[in-house]
Chain A
């Protein structure tokens, strides 16, 4: 057995400077930096086969372990938002209120699309448990990540629903040699992270055990408001993996992952008109078992069988402090079972044919849904790669999805890359994507107790209306029969085009650029039913309405003058607009009313700023220094987010006035890492 290397790391954050304007919260960011991926780095997400990044015809960014470590960051979202084109975005349903963080959390906006349109995978398998479209990235322990692969542009042809804007695949470590590793992380707000990691590597087997405890006391930005701005929490992550060589031709890989978090809540509510303090907790549990058997049937044929099971539970409850009575509780339970087989034919990594088929069994239950729902889905995918003259790579693929809730979905994709010179490759791809209507849009059955409106998912419309009528909440004179047929929501569909180039004018300089256009149809939105409840409050449901597009480009430049220093920077230009709004502007149907002078005018094309919460300009820049001899590294980085639409103030629900924007901001971070 090899000597066990003890590695005790202390991360010291030298200084952290943060500039904030209107709508940002003064939370200190642990920091990070990235660099452009080198051409021979191997990625799997883009083609579902192991492939070097230089020969992939779609835009891919890779964040390596080294860089994650050097950042000292324990938060995945911080690492991600420092990548070009990945913007931290609040859920469109619940933006920050009065300086409070968004209750629904923040996610990653990719190519100008909301967090719900990016698929998040862990070792190639989807994570479940999205709250209003946002997956809490805090569930993923950073200490166990080998690399993060970000594929931009639709990847539905390989991964199915949700991969409209792209895919973020978090790949965990594999044991290469025996070692034990302990890390301690400390930062402000009494935040502590302890990580223990063990690899045992034998001739025919390898094992990994990983455990992490992370806790924070939260923080309070406004002492005049009862309760903390961010509540304290503690979470535990545990992962166990085994790799077995069953024979010369087959390997078995099995892994178990458990995450559990308890957040302590304490805030003020009103009982009648009297304020009362409540406290309680939110408990989040997330687990998965991932088995994979790889069999080399012959030299040319490989068979991969996967069996993936995952579950997510979120239970929250708060009690009145005065008498310990239950005030409010909520839950969300989700379960997914996913067997899949994949066939790989071909020896050359650039000429492979793959085909796969799988099945999803999914259940979901939540307190705002009428009952538990079960779904079945089948899918099939195939992809072929060709290499011509050692210069032109063409990849064509498609996927077919059949789900209980919607029609057969057919999602083709075509991509190509042409190597002009060894230092210049141009690539182009066109693909389609779809996003299945989410559970909320389908099954919500909820009446607001304070104001009294009712929200009904498209599949609950009939039941919900009948119930309201029976309860006398809808006037007898109203004919609800036309609405007793459940409205079927169609999946949201997209077409995305990406054209880019990778260019290395000198050995030490790499430039990558990508132009993108995404058109999305059938966007799902809320609408009012044409009658009200007896309390005059609206009844809402969901339907397919809008058509939007996002387009822009990004540029990444990386300069490595010597082995110690990396300088890199990135920029994204983005336009994201609603096509229906553009049409209305054309027809002079959209009017704005100045909130001060009350003068009304037609909105012009020039005034229309597009979708809310999108920055036209965003950029990042970093300077990293690392000295292997002294186990010392440091980084300095800046993330800029240009101004973005925040809220409508002139009565037309679109972004068309300078006062409707939030100011841009810069986050400046520095970190120093020293291995002892």
Chain B
């Protein structure tokens, strides 16, 4: 019984949140950082990763790969996280089939880590549709990445587009990833 009541309280709370989130534009909360960004990533499975920090909204130098300055790394279509196999941080992720704007709370549990190089939190091929005709990788619509950053803050992110950087010759050199994210700087799970 108690559980039911608790659940309904949570639902009410969630409803309240979704209602209040409509008003967010009027009263911006300073703890939430919303950004749209794009990064360039090597189109090769053997060249270095591009590291990104949500907190600073910036690319992190490869020399800092052994620090907690970065949250995720990306090359080709492979995501790595700053945890276990790839870094000293505590980064983890969930790939959720929910429209970005509908994600109001980061889940409490269920986060996956890069436990080994073969067991990555974000599986390659899981987040895009590849079109062999146009050779495009289009991020699946309606998917939202929920990240726990290297230093335990919560972020929701949506990949918007993956394009080829203009290239000459047979093989593209780099991909341009365009994404938007919301970073909760007060450490709460609520966006």
A650 touches B141 (CB 8 A): yes
B160-A538 in contact (CB<8A): no
Q: Is A9 part of the contact surface with B, judged by Cβ < 8 Å?
A: no
Our pick among A97, A477, A536, A591 for the contact of B99 (Cβ within 8 Å) is A591
- CB pair A93 B129 closer than 8 Å: no
- Kindly provide the distance from the CB of A561 to the nearest chain B CB, expressed in whole angstroms: 47
Q: Which stretch, A339-347, A400-408, A524-532, touches the partner chain B? A: A524-532
Whether the pair B125, A532 counts as a contact (CB closer than 8 A) is yes
Q: How far is the CA of A275 from the CA of B139 in the complex (A)?
A: 32
What would 9 A/B residue contacts be, using CB atoms closer than 8 Å? A97-B133, A269-B170, A273-B171, A536-B45, A538-B124, A590-B142, A591-B143, A598-B180, A600-B158
B123 close to A653 (CB less than 8 A): no
Whether A95 pairs with B141 at a CB distance below 8 angstroms is no
Q: Does A3 contact B (CB under 8 A)?
A: no
A1 within 8 A of B: no
Complex Cα distance, B43 from A537, in Å, reads 12
Distance (Å) between the CB of A440 and the closest chain B CB? 14
**Contacting residues of chain A (91-116) with chain B, CB-CB under 8 angstroms:** 93-95, 97
Closest chain B residue to A93, Cβ basis: B132
Contacts of B125 in A (CB 8 A): 528, 532, 538
Known: A536-B124, A600-B99. A475 touches B141 (CB 8 A): no
A600 near B45: Cβ-Cβ < 8 Å? no
Residues of A within 8 A of B65 (CB): none
CA distance A653 to B137 in the complex (A): 11
Asked if B45 contacts A537 (CB within 8 A), the reply is yes
Number of interface residues of A (CB under 8 A): 38
Interface string of B99-111 (1 = CB under 8 A from A): 1110000000000
Query: Closest chain A residue to B117 by CB distance?
Result: A475
Is residue A505 contacting chain B, with contact meaning CB distance below 8 A?
A: no
Check: B161 CB closer than 8 A to any chain A CB.
Answer: yes
- Mark B109-141 against chain A: 1 for CB-CB distance below 8 A, else 0: 000000011110001110001011110001111
The reply to whether A478 and B129 contact each other, CB–CB distance below 8 Å, is no
Q: Does A279 contact B (CB under 8 A)?
A: no
CB of A564 closer than 8 Å to a CB of B: no
A-to-B contact residues, CB < 8 Å: 93-95, 97, 269-270, 273, 275, 450, 452, 475, 477-478, 528, 530-532, 535-538, 589-593, 595, 598, 600-602, 647-653
Instruction: Kindly identify which residue among A477, A528, A593 contacts B141, using a CB–CB cutoff of 8 Å.
Output: A593
Verify if B67 is at the interface (C-beta below 8 Å from A). no
Q: Which residues of B contact A95 (CB under 8 A)?
A: 133
* Min C-beta distance of A396 to chain B, whole Å: 44
* A595 and B117 alpha carbons, distance in the complex (Å): 33
Residue of B nearest to A477 (CB): B118
A532 touching B142, Cβ below 8 Å: no
Q: A652 vs B131: C-alpha distance in the bound complex, in angstroms?
A: 11
Q: Are A450 and B171 in contact (CB under 8 A)?
A: yes
Residues of B within 8 A of A649 (CB): 138
- Residue-wise, chain B 45-70 has the 8 Å CB interface mask toward A (1 for contact) of 11000000000000000000000000
Known: A600-B101, A651-B141. 12 other contacts (CB 8 A): A97-B133, A270-B170, A536-B45, A590-B141, A591-B99, A593-B139, A593-B141, A600-B99, A648-B131, A652-B140, A653-B129, A653-B131
Q: Which residues between 61 and 85 of chain B lie within 8 Å of chain A, taking CB atoms?
A: 76-78
Interface core residue of B45, B129, B143 (most chain A CB under 10 Å): B45
> Which residues of A have CB within 8 Å of B28?
none
Q: Which chain A positions have C-beta within 8 A of B169? A: 270, 273, 275
B132 with A600: CB separation less than 8 A? no
Q: How far is the CA of A615 from the CA of B104 in the complex (A)?
A: 41
**Which B residues are closer than 8 A to A by beta carbons?**
45-46, 76-78, 97, 99-101, 116-119, 123-125, 129, 131-134, 138-143, 158, 160-161, 169-171, 180
Closest chain A residue, CB of each to CB of B102:
A600
Q: Find out whether the CB atom of A648 lies under 8 angstroms from the CB atom of B99.
A: no
Please name all residues of chain A whose beta carbon is closer than 8 Å to the beta carbon of B161 when the two chains form the complex.
595, 598
Q: Which residue of B lies closest to A600 (CB)?
A: B99
Contacting residues, chain B, for A273 (C-beta < 8 A): 169-171
Contact B140 A651 (CB under 8 A): yes
The docked-state distance in angstroms from the alpha carbon of A598 to that of B180 is 10
Whole-angstrom CA separation of A535 from B45 in the bound complex: 6
Q: Which residues of A contact B132 (CB under 8 A)?
A: 93-94
> Considering residues B116, B119, B129, B141, which has the most beta carbons from chain A within 10 angstroms of its beta carbon?
B141
Closest 8 CB pairs of A and B: A591-B142, A270-B170, A593-B141, A651-B141, A591-B141, A475-B118, A651-B138, A653-B129
On chain B, the residues within 8 Å of A650 by CB distance are: 138, 141
Report the Cα distance A652→B160, complex, angstroms: 12
**Complex CA–CA separation, A475 to B118 (angstroms):** 7
- Which residues of chain A have C-beta atoms less than 8 A from B129's C-beta? 648, 651-653
Complex Cα distance A664/B70, Å? 50
**Nearest Cβ in chain A — how far from B105, in angstroms?**
18
Nearest-CB distance from A584 to chain B (Å)?
Answer: 10
- CB neighbours (8 Å) of B140 from chain A are 591, 651-652
Tell me whether B123 and A530 are in contact (CB under 8 A): yes
List, in ascending order, chain A residues with CB within 8 A of B180's CB. 598
- Interface contact B118-A531, CB-CB below 8 Å: yes
**B76: A residues at CB distance < 8 A:** 536
Do A647 and B170 touch (CB < 8 A)?
no
Say yes or no: A532 contacts B124, CB within 8 Å: yes
Which A residues touch B45, using CB under 8 A?
452, 535-537
Q: How far is the CA of A478 from the CA of B138 in the complex (A)?
A: 27
Chain A's closest residue to B179 (CB) is A598
Which residues of A are found within 8 Å of B77, using beta-carbon distances?
A: 536
Cα–Cα distance between A532 and B122 once the two chains are bound (Å): 12
| Closest chain A CB from B167 CB (angstroms) | 10
In the assembled complex, the Cα of A598 lies from the Cα of B158 at a distance in Å of 10
B36 to chain A, nearest CB (A): 8
Residues of B within 8 A of A530 (CB): 123
Q: How far is the CB of A387 from chain B (nearest CB, A)?
A: 51
B133 touches A94 (CB 8 A): yes
B170 partner residues in chain A, CB cutoff 8 A:
269-270, 273, 275, 450
Closest Cβ of chain B: how far from A289's Cβ, in Å?
A: 39
Residues of A within 8 A of B78 (CB): 536
The reply to whether A477 and B100 contact each other, CB–CB distance below 8 Å, is no
Least distance between B147 CB and chain A CB atoms (Å) = 19
CA distance A388 to B160 in the complex (A): 66
CB-CB under 8 A from A598, the residues of chain B are 158, 160-161, 180
Whether the Cβ atoms of B142 and A652 lie closer than 8 Å is yes
- Looking at the assembled complex, report how far the CB atom of B118 sits from the nearest CB atom of chain A, in whole angstroms: 4
Given contacts A532-B124, A535-B45, A649-B138, contact A600 B118 (CB under 8 A): no
Are A477 and B116 also in contact (CB < 8 A) when A94-B133, A528-B125 are?
Answer: yes
